[in-house]
Amino acid sequence: MIEKVPSKNLERTVAVIGNPNTGKSTLFTALTGVHSQIGNYPGVTVEKKLGWFEFEGQSIRLVDLPGTYSLSPRTIDEMVSVDVLLGRQPEVGQIDAVVCIVDASNLERNLYVLSQVLDLGLPTVLVLNMWDVAQERGIQINPEELANRLGIPAIPCEAHRRKQIDLIRSEIVKASHAPKSTPLDIFPEAFHEEGRTLQAEFQQFSNQVLPTYLVERLILDVGGQLEIDLTKPNPEQLISRLKEARERLKALQFRVPNIEAKLRYGWSRQILNGVMSVPEKRPAVATDTLDRWLTHRFWGLLAFCLAMFIVFQSISWAAQPLMKFCEFGQKQVGEMIGSLLPFGPFRSLVVDGVIAGVGGILVFLPQICFLFLFIALLEDCGYMARAAFLMDKLMTKVGLSGKSFVPLMSSFACAIPGIMATRTIENRRDRMVTILVAPLMSCSARAPVYWLMVAAFFPSISWAGGWITLHGVMLFVMTFFGAVVAIPIAWLFKKTLFKGETPPFVMELPSYKVPSPRIVLHRVFDRASAFVMRAGTLILATSILIWGASYFPSDHTEEQKVLTEIRQAESTFARELEAKEQLSLLRENHSHPNAPQAEIDERLAELDQRLKPLHDLFDTRNKISEQLLANSFLGRFGKIIEPVVKPLGWDWRIGVGVLASFPAREVIVATLGTIYSLGGDVDENSQGLQSALQSATWPDGRPVYSIPVAISIMVFFALCAQCASTLMVIRRETNHWGWAAFTFAYMTTLAYIGAWVAYVAASWLLAS
Amino acid sequence: MSSVVSHALPLEMMSAGEQGLVVEIDGAPELVVRLEEMGLHTGVRVYMVQPGSPCILEINHQRYSMRFDESVTVLVGLVP
C-alpha cells in the first residue's frame, strides 16, 4: 500500500460505524449526496458501500460499515467490519479515521461500540444523532463535556434534517489528518499479558503474526468467527492454548465472556455520569398509543392484514391507468417501427421479438415501482419490526422466530435481498429453513404473471362502491398463496432436515418516524433500474432466442404477401376502421345518452359487413401464421413436451413459455408476447397480449385459456423456482451447490403437483 | 443503586408497568453476550411494557421485543 503523505489533496479514507437504527444511512447520504457506489466484498455478500465528498479542498472517501451493536466478530459479516477497521481489507486499504454515529436518546448502550472503536486507536468523530428525539424525551446531554471526557469531537446532529452536516464534514477532514491516538484501555494488565503470550503461541504453532487487537478479541469472543478462522491452521494446539488462557484469566476473576460487558458498560456509565440526565420514565409520546394498538395481539394482527390488503388493492388500482398508458405506448412504438420497416425477418425480429417481448414485460414497471414503494415505506417508518413482533408467535409454531419474518417479508419484493437479510438470524438451522422457503414468497417478478392472468380471465366485478375489486382480491390471494404453502414446508424442514430448539428472539423496536423520501425513492429507483436492466439483458436475449426458434426454419413469403395485402386493405378501409373504433369506444363507455345501444350495435354490424374483405385477409393470415409457428423449431419442440404439460391444462405454447422462463420467471410474459405476436392470434382490435391470450384456441376451436388454466399457470409460477439469480444467491449463502439444487428440485415438484391439483379442482368447481 | 431490590424473579414474569433491575443473566455464553451488547446487561433498569411471549420491554427509553426460553434466564429484582 502507498505510504501516507501529509498532502492536503490525497484522498483520505474514513469508516462510518454505529448501532442499527441510528440513522447511519441517512447521515451517509447527507454527507456524500449522490456520490456513492454499492458493491460487495470479495468472497462474502456483505454490502460494500462507498461514498465521496470534498470539503475545504480535501477529498474524503467514506466507507459505510453494516450497523452493529458490537465489534466482536462473531459472524462473517462482523468480521468484514473489523477487517476494514484494522486495514486488513485490501479492497478498502488503510483507514485514516472513524465516524461513530450514536443514538443520542440511548447513549449508554451506544457507547458500548464506541468504546470498542476507541480501542483501535484511530482518530474518531462522535456524531450524536437523533438529538431531537433525545430532547423530546427530556434527555439532557452536555456535548462539550462529553467531548472533553472522551477526548474526541462530539457533534449533536439531526441527520434527517441535514443539520450540522458541514460541521461534521469539517471534523472528519480534521480527524483524517490527525495522528493515531492512544487506544482506550479499560482492561487490566493481566489480560494484555495473556494476549501477548497467546500472540507468541500463535506465531509458534501456526506461523501467523496477528495484530494485538485480534488476539485480544480472540480471548474475549467465545465460539466466534475469529476462533473458527484463526485456529484453522492447527486447531488442536491453538484451541487448547486459547482455553488455557481463558482459564488462567478466570482464576483472576476475569470471567470471559461476561467481563467485557461489565467493564464497557461500567466505562460508559462513568463517562455519562454528570454529562447526561435521563428522566426515570420515558414521557408518553403520541406514537406510544399507536404502538399499543399496532402491537396488540388481536388488533395488531388485524391492522397488519388490513395494511397488506390495502397495499395490494392500491397497487392494482393506482397502477392500472399507468399500465394502460404503457401498453398504449408499446403498441404505438410497435406500429410506428412496423410501418417503417419492410416485411421480412428483420421487421419480425424487431416487432415480434424485441417490442412484443421486452415491451410486454416493461409495461409492468409502474406496478413494480408501487410495490417497492410500499415495502420501502413500511421498512423506513419502523413498522417492519412491529410486524416481526406480531409474527413471532406464528413463526414459533413452525419452529422459526420473528427474526425470520423480516427476510421473508422482503422476499415479497425480491428473494435475493430477502435471502441476504437472513444473516441477521444467528441460529444456523433457522437461517437455513428461512433461506429454503424464502423463494416461495411471491416476489415482484411473479406479479406480472398474476396481473396478466387476472386481468385477462377474471371478470371485473367490484364491491363496496368500487373500493374492492375481484382483480384486487385475486392478486391478494395469489400473492399470499406461496406464503401459506411455505408454512407446512418450513414446519417439515424444521422437523426433518434441521431439527432443533427455537432460539430466543430479541429485536429492537425503533421509534416510529416519518419515512425519508430520499431513502424511499432511492430504494424504489434501485429496484426499478434492476428490473429494467434485466429486461434489457436476460429477457431481451431470451426474447430473441424464442423469436428465432419460432420464426425459423419455415418459409415466410406467403405470409408476407398476405401482410402486404392487409396493409393495402387497411388504407382502403381507413374511414370505416376509424368509425368502428369511435363506435366501439362509445359502446364501452355507455355514458352517451344520445346514442342508444341498439343503434350503435346496428351500425357496428353494418361496418363489419363492409369490412369483410379485411376480416377474411386476417383469417388467412392467422391460419398461415399458426401453420408456420407449428412447423418452426419451437413448435416442433413444443409438440414433444405437450404430453407433459397437458395434465395441467396447458397447450404446447404455454409449455414452451414456462420452460423458457426457468432462468427468470417474468420471461414468460415476453415469451408469450413473442409467440402470440408471431402465431397470429390477433386481429385489428388486438390490444396487446391480454386479448391475444383471450382469443387463443386449441386446434378444435375451444379456447386455450379458461379460468382453471389461468389458475393452474398462476399456481405453477407461485411455487416454482424460476430464478437463476436466486439459486446463485442460495449457493453463495449456504456455501454449497447442493442446497440450490435441493431448492430447485423441491419447488419445481411442488409447482407441478400444485398446478395439476389447482387445474383439476378449479375445473371441477366451475363445472358443478 | 439507590432503590431497594426485593426478591428476584425471571424477567418474563413481570407484569405490565412493573420495573426492575437486572440482577443476573444466565445461559449460553453467545446468547448472553448478544443480550448484553444490545443493552440488556446486569444492573440495567427494565420496564415491562407488554408481557407475554414475546414481550415488549423498555430499557433506557428504547423498546425491544423479546422471547426467552430455557437457554437464557434473566433474573430481575423489582423496584417500585
Rounded Cα distance between A442 and A435, Å, is 14
Calculate how close chain B gets to A353, using CA atoms only, in Å. Answer: 53
- Same structural domain, A96 and A210: no
Rg, chain A, Cα only: 32
B41 is a domain residue: yes
A569 is a domain residue: no
CA nearest to A457, candidates A700, A711, A676:
A711
- Same structural domain, A346 and A438: yes
CB A705 within 8 A of CB A456: yes
Q: Is the pLDDT of residue A682 over 50?
A: no
- Same structural domain, A372 and A489: yes
The C-alpha cell of A531 is what? 428490473
CB A223 within 8 A of CB B29: yes
CA nearest to A186, candidates A278, A302, A271, A277:
A271
DSSP letter for each residue of A429-491: HHHHHHHHHGGGS--TTTHHHHHHHHHHHS---EEGGGTEEHHHHHHHHHHHHHHHHHHHHHH
Strands B55-59 and B45-50: antiparallel
CB A436 within 8 A of CB A744: no
- Same structural domain, A473 and A398: yes
pLDDT-derived band at A684, boundaries 50, 70, 90: very low
The average pLDDT across A565-576 equals 82
Run of H or E residues at A369: helix A365-381
B38 is a domain residue: yes
Interchain CB contact of A426 with B (< 8 Å): yes
Calculate how close chain B gets to A209, using CA atoms only, in Å. Answer: 27
- Same structural domain, A193 and A292: no
Q: Is the pLDDT of residue A185 over 60?
A: yes
Interchain CB contact of B31 with A (< 8 Å): yes
Please write the tens of the pLDDT for every residue from A367-413.
Answer: 778 877 887 888 788 888 888 898 888 888 888 888 888 788 878 87
**End-to-end Cα separation, chain A, in angstroms:** 77
Residues lower than pLDDT 50 in chain B: 1-3, 5
Please write the tens of the pLDDT for every residue from A256-306.
Answer: 888 899 999 999 999 999 999 988 777 777 778 888 889 988 899 899 888
| Residue A181 identity | S
- If one compares A655 and A574, the residue with the highest pLDDT of the two is A655
Predicted pLDDT at A46: 65
CB contact under 8 A, B35 and A506: yes
- Same structural domain, A517 and A648: yes
- Same structural domain, A95 and A141: yes
B55 is a domain residue: yes
Interchain CB contact of A654 with B (< 8 Å): no
DSSP character for B19?
A: E
Q: Is the pLDDT of residue A481 over 50?
A: yes
SS (H, E, C) A708-748: HHHHHHHHHHHHCCCEHHHHHHHHHHHCCHHHHHHHHHHHH
CA nearest to A102, candidates A130, A143, A136:
A130
The average pLDDT across A419-425 equals 78
Weakest mean pLDDT among A350-359, A440-449, A556-565, A686-695: A686-695
Q: Contacts by A380-384 with C-beta closer than 8 Å and gap 24+? A: A380/A513, A380/A515, A380/A516, A380/A519, A380/A520, A381/A512, A381/A513, A381/A514, A381/A515, A382/A509, A382/A510, A382/A511, A382/A512, A382/A513, A383/A294, A383/A307, A383/A512, A384/A409
Domains of chain A: total: 3
Instruction: Give the domain-ending residue among A253, A276, A301.
Output: A253
CATH number for position A151: 3.40.50.300
| Residue A540 identity | L
pLDDT-derived band at A55, boundaries 50, 70, 90: very high
Predicted pLDDT at A114: 96
List strand residue ranges (DSSP E) for A164-288, in order: 276-277
Domain boundaries, position B40: 8-79
| Residue A596 identity | P
Q: ipTM exceeding 0.85?
A: yes
A410 is a domain residue: yes
CATH number for position B64: 2.30.30.90
CB A148 within 8 A of CB A16: no
The average pLDDT across A79-99 equals 90
The percent of residues in chain A predicted with pLDDT above 90, rounded, is: 27
Instruction: Give the domain-ending residue among A235, A253, A271.
Output: A253
Predicted pLDDT at A610: 82
- Same structural domain, A341 and A238: no
B42 is a domain residue: yes
Rounded Cα distance between A9 and A683, Å, is 67
Weakest mean pLDDT among A125-139, A240-254, A370-384, B28-42: A370-384
Please write the tens of the pLDDT for every residue from A512-565.
Answer: 888 878 778 877 887 778 777 777 777 778 778 878 887 888 777 777 888 888
Weakest mean pLDDT among A77-81, A252-256, A595-599, A734-738: A595-599
Query: Which A residues, 522 through 581, put their C-beta within 8 Å of a C-beta on chain B?
Result: none
- If one compares A520 and A352, the residue with the highest pLDDT of the two is A520
The average pLDDT across A188-200 equals 92
B43 is a domain residue: yes
- If one compares A732 and A15, the residue with the highest pLDDT of the two is A15
- Same structural domain, A149 and A223: no
Interchain CB contact of B18 with A (< 8 Å): no
Q: Is the pLDDT of residue A683 over 70?
A: no
- Same structural domain, A117 and A172: yes
CB contact under 8 A, A502 and B64: no
A590 is a domain residue: no
A160 is a domain residue: yes
Predicted pLDDT at A696: 76
Rounded Cα distance between A530 and A205, Å, is 49
State the residue for C-alpha cell 385489428: A684
B23 is a domain residue: yes
pLDDT-derived band at A501, boundaries 50, 70, 90: confident
B3 is a domain residue: no
Chain B environment of A137 (Cβ under 8 Å): 61
pLDDT-derived band at A146, boundaries 50, 70, 90: very high
Angle between helices A212-220 and A189-206 (to 10 degrees): 100
pLDDT-derived band at A40, boundaries 50, 70, 90: low
Instruction: Give the domain-ending residue among A125, A142, A177.
Output: A177
CB neighbour burial string for B3-39, b if at least 16 within 10 angstroms, e if fewer: eeeeebbebbebeeebbbbbbebebeebbbbbbbbbb
The C-alpha cell of A609 is what? 359487413
CA nearest to A673, candidates A336, A341, A362:
A362
State the residue for C-alpha cell 441476504: A420
CA nearest to A415, candidates A434, A439, A384:
A439
Query: Which A residues, 38 through 57, put their C-beta within 8 Å of a C-beta on chain B?
Result: none
A600 is a domain residue: no
The C-alpha cell of B67 is what? 422471547
The C-alpha cell of A614 is what? 379485411
Measured between CA atoms, the residue of chain A closest to residue B66 is A506
Calculate how close chain A gets to B29, using CA atoms only, in Å. Answer: 7
A163 is a domain residue: yes
Q: Which of B38, B58, B69 shows the shortest C-beta gap to A502?
A: B69
DSSP character for A158?
A: B
Interchain CB contact of B40 with A (< 8 Å): yes
CA nearest to A101, candidates A67, A76, A74:
A67
Mutation choice for B interface testing from A506, A507, A512, A513 by most B CBs within 10 A? A506
Interchain CB contact of B10 with A (< 8 Å): no
Q: Which of A278, A426, A506 shows the shortest C-beta gap to B66?
A: A506
Chain A environment of B40 (Cβ under 8 Å): 506
CB A653 within 8 A of CB A672: yes
DSSP character for A503?
A: P
CB contact under 8 A, B54 and A392: yes
Q: Is the pLDDT of residue A4 over 60?
A: no
CB contact under 8 A, B62 and A295: no
A630 is a domain residue: no
Predicted pLDDT at A432: 92
Rounded Cα distance between A512 and A380, Å, is 9
Rg, chain B, Cα only: 11
pLDDT-derived band at A680, boundaries 50, 70, 90: low
pLDDT-derived band at A688, boundaries 50, 70, 90: low
A614 is a domain residue: no
Interchain CB contact of B23 with A (< 8 Å): no
Chain B environment of A106 (Cβ under 8 Å): 39, 60-62
- Same structural domain, A741 and A654: yes
pLDDT-derived band at A681, boundaries 50, 70, 90: very low
DSSP letter for each residue of A298-344: THHHHHHHHHHHHHHHHHHHHHHHHHHHHHHHHHHHHHHHHHHSPSS
Interchain CB contact of B9 with A (< 8 Å): no
Predicted pLDDT at A267: 95
Predicted pLDDT at B46: 93
The average confidence (pLDDT) of chain A is 83
Predicted pLDDT at A3: 42
Calculate how close chain B gets to A533, using CA atoms only, in Å. Answer: 39
CB contact under 8 A, B71 and A504: yes
Express the helix, strand and coil content of chain A in percent, nearest 5 each.
Answer: 65, 10, 25
Q: Which of B34, B42, B67 shows the shortest C-beta gap to A392?
A: B67
pLDDT-derived band at A5, boundaries 50, 70, 90: very low
pLDDT-derived band at A433, boundaries 50, 70, 90: very high
Q: Is the pLDDT of residue A444 over 90?
A: no
Predicted pLDDT at A151: 94
CB A96 within 8 A of CB A32: no
Domains of chain B: total: 1
Domain boundaries, position A172: 12-177
CB contact under 8 A, A402 and B67: yes
Query: Which A residues, 58 through 77, put their C-beta within 8 Å of a C-beta on chain B?
Result: 69-70, 72, 74
Interchain CB contact of A402 with B (< 8 Å): yes
The C-alpha cell of A237 is what? 494446539
Rounded Cα distance between A92 and A85, Å, is 9
Which residue blocks in A590-736 are alpha helix, DSSP H?
Answer: 597-610, 612-631, 633-645, 652-660, 667-679, 689-694, 707-719, 724-734
- Same structural domain, A413 and A526: yes
